Structure 1
Amino acid sequence: MAGAGPVQVRLDQVRKGYGRGEGRVLALDGVSLTFAAGTFTALMGPSGSGKSTLLHCAAGLDKPDEGRIHLGDTELTRLGESKLLDVRRQRIGVVFQSFNLVASLTAAENVALPARLAGQKVRREAVHELLARVGLADRARHLPSSLSGGQQQRVAIARALFTGPDVVFADEPTGALDTRAGADVLGLLRETVDTWGQTVVMVTHDPRAASMADRVVFFADGKVAGELTSPSAERIGSWLAELGA
């Protein structure tokens, strides 16, 4: 992680549970973690280990029961819903496995949608420049139904990047893609870090996908179980086998 910048996201003793009484499940059990600016981190672990819950809390999509989450100097856990929504729209990008594109909007319109919802003026040139960056300069007027899965995910990444967010959170971004399209999307995420200085935090179950990251953080039973830097797919696979993933 040479050249990593200051801490972009910080979690302090974050706890999150679901359900009540004897059926309550503790998804995060006192997790403290930081993500530096300009780095690519993968979160991994068995199903139910807490990795997706952590991503959703860090992205402001869910609120922890206890603990603090900071985005730069802003404490997300102290914000009301309206201010938190503003922060999510302006400073946080999210990419989902299911793309979450609006079927009736073109690729260009989907990219610009978060900015329009935030009441920001949208320059057509900026939209097309970003689509060109992700290799879709000639697909701006296409609806999602006429795009491949990999192309739709590229539109989703462009949408996540459009407002110039501090960090992009990606939840299983290659889970619905074939091997080649998945590799293309991972290469694009890697490029956003190396070329554009972006910060990316990605949940994945795939050791090959995680090996594209600078760092892998492993979860088990709602806690951080360890981490690797400059990881290989083989080392990641060994860690996952030990965790029973």
Structure 2
Amino acid sequence: MNTTFSDGSLPAVRLSGVRRTFVTGRRPVVALDSVTVTFRTGTFTAVMGPSGSGKSTLLQCAAGLDRPDSGSVVLGNQEITGLREKQLTRFRRENIGFVFQAFNLLPALTVADNVGLPLRLAGAKPGRDRIDQVLARVGLADRRGQRPAELSGGQQQRVAIARALITEPTVIFGDEPTGSLDTRSAREILLLLREAVHEAGRTTVIVTHDPVAASMADRTVFLADGRIVDDMKGASADTIAERMTHLGAWSASPRAGEGVGRC
């Protein structure tokens, strides 16, 4: 059954009772422990937690890049956990944009060709006007003919964002999208992601280790030991950093199971 908000709108993404276990050596490791969380349409959420807390697995399950052992993942009104691989691939191409720490640009292609690649993979011919428009949105209108190696790290991530935007996705997922950038470039990238949310109505969910990056989101979700242990809106970088400092204590406290995580 779909969850709706008080205004009647559907969430952009909803994970319900999602569990994901990996086998390391002889022992199973629980990456996600019956996680339930909703990401509202037109919002920017940061996911934080210590190494091994399950935040990247959460992102991958939400984006359909990994399949949970149990539970469900719904994007808009589409349950994706039961889709066959070809169906899931097509759904991702049409509805989801990705931005990664490593940029994942093809070095032999120009900026314009990298941006247009998702449309080509979907069997469509990207128009020059459309590519130019999205490049202008990320401040790279004059770089369309260059190769990634000719760009700075911040510029390459702008190309990656343009590539994510070209299909007009419902949701943009970012895995440490500012992790390899200097402070100034990181802020510019985060502002672009905020613009995609607040001006274009996209929903954006990023994993980050940086409290400053998380403070630019509308909401910060904290994970520890595969469970959501806190959920804050509009928090400052200092407040988020303080939460991270005490995260281990929260995961063992009664608060960890109250309302925000395993519901």
TM-score normalised per structure 2: 0.90
2:40 pairs with 25, 36, 43, which one? 36
Tell me the equivalent position of 1:46: 50
Mark the runs of 5 or more structure 1 residues left unpaired by the alignment: none
Number of the residue aligned with 2:18: 14
Identical pairs, percent: 57
Q: Show CA shifts across 1:108-155 (max 9, x none).
A: 100000110010131110000000000000001110000000000000
The aligned residue for residue 117 of structure 1 is 121
Q: d(CA) in 1 for partners of 2:185 and 2:230? A: 30
Is 1:209 aligned to 2:213, yes or no? yes
Structure-to-structure mapping, 1:181-200, within 5 angstroms: 181-200=185-204
Secondary structure of the residue aligned to 1:197 is: coil
SS at match of 2:45: strand
Q: Measure how far apart 1:5 and its partner are.
A: 5.6
1 CA distance for matches of 2:184 and 2:25? 46
* Structure 1 pair 187–20 and aligned structure 2 pair: CA distance change class (3 A): closer
Residue 166 of structure 1 aligns with which residue?
A: 170
Alignment partner of 2:180: what SS?
coil
CA contact (8 A) 2:224 2:248 kept: no
Cα distance change, pair 84–171 in 1 and its aligned pair in 2 (3 A)? same
Greater shift after overlay, 11-20 or 107-116? 11-20
Structure 1 position 96, deviation (Å): 0.4
Residue 46 and residue 94 in structure 1: after superposition, are their counterparts in 2 closer, same or farther (change >3 A)? same
Q: Where does residue 26 of structure 1 map in the other structure? A: 30
Distance in 1 separating the partners of 2:153 and 2:224? 31
Task: Give the TM-score normalised by the residue count of structure 1.
Answer: 0.96
- Superimposed CA distance per residue, residues 62-103 of structure 1 (whole angstroms, 9 cap, x where no aligned partner): 111100000111111010000000011110001000000000
SS in 2 for 1:78: coil
Instruction: Please say if residues 44 and 203 of structure 1, whose CA atoms lie closer than 8 Å, have aligned partners that are also in contact.
Output: yes
Runs of 4+ in 1 over 2 A off after TM superposition: 3-6
Match of 1:55 in 2: 59
Distance 1:35 1:4, change over 3 A: farther
Query: After superposition, what is the alpha-carbon deviation per residue over 1:166-201, rounded to whole angstroms, capped at 9, x for unaligned?
Result: 100000000011111111111111111111111100
Shift of 1:6: 3.2
Q: Distance in 2 between matches of 1:124 and 1:83?
A: 28
Matching residue within 69, 73, 76 for 2:77: 73
Q: Are positions 1:176 and 2:180 aligned together?
A: yes
What amino acid maps onto 1:158 in structure 2? A
Compute the displacement of 1:21 (Å).
Answer: 7.6
* Closer/same/farther in 2, CA of residues 5 and 192 from structure 1, 3 Å limit: farther
